[in-house]
Structure 1
Amino acid sequence: MNGVDDRIVEVVKLSRPAQRALAAAGIETFADLATWAKADVAGLHGVGPKSFTELDPAMAARGLDYRAP
């Protein structure tokens, strides 16, 4: 699977706190994630630098990027 509607938790390995933070913010798919600025995602409690080592390449593989700040 390599689509914008792929569920993040089914594609990348994130910590449980990061998974909960994204879910609580309503971010389930990569399309959802693309509507957020990277700084705002980083500000979610539980999402740290390691999360972005997984999320960034997965976003790029789908031709997506974070919303401009």
Structure 2
Amino acid sequence: MTRKSVQPGHTPIPHGIGAPARRAMAHAGLETLEQVVQFGKRELLKLHGMGVRTMAQLEDAMDEHGLEFPAAS
């Protein structure tokens, strides 16, 4: 079941993300899942701490809120 964000555009990054990845996202100005989607998967993978586990956690959280990366990101 897909759950939409209560406040569209303000869906926080999940708490289970490791500290290195969380710091790298913060340094890149990424504070919400919507910003992560706009940033793009390819660019996100270039950040420190972005591995398979972190990407899976982000994509699971995005699925819960009806978000996804564009096909060509």
Compute the TM-score of the two structures, normalised by the length of structure 1: 0.81
Separation (CA, whole Å) in 1 of partners of 2:23 and 2:15: 14
Matched, 1:33 2:36: yes
- Contact 1:12–1:55 (CA under 8 A) maintained in structure 2: no
Separation (CA, whole Å) in 1 of partners of 2:4 and 2:53: 21
Matched, 1:5 2:10: yes
Compute the TM-score of the two structures, normalised by the length of structure 2: 0.78
Over aligned residue pairs, what C-alpha RMSD do you find?
A: 1.8
Moved over 4 A (4+): none
Unaligned runs of 5+ in 1: none
Matched, 1:56 2:56: no
Separation (CA, whole Å) in 2 of partners of 1:31 and 1:7: 9
Unaligned runs of 5+ in 2: none
Q: Number of aligned residue pairs: give it.
A: 67
Structure in which a larger fraction of residues adopt helix = 1
Separation (CA, whole Å) in 1 of partners of 2:22 and 2:4: 19
What is the deviation of 1:12? 3.7
The structure with the larger Rg is 2
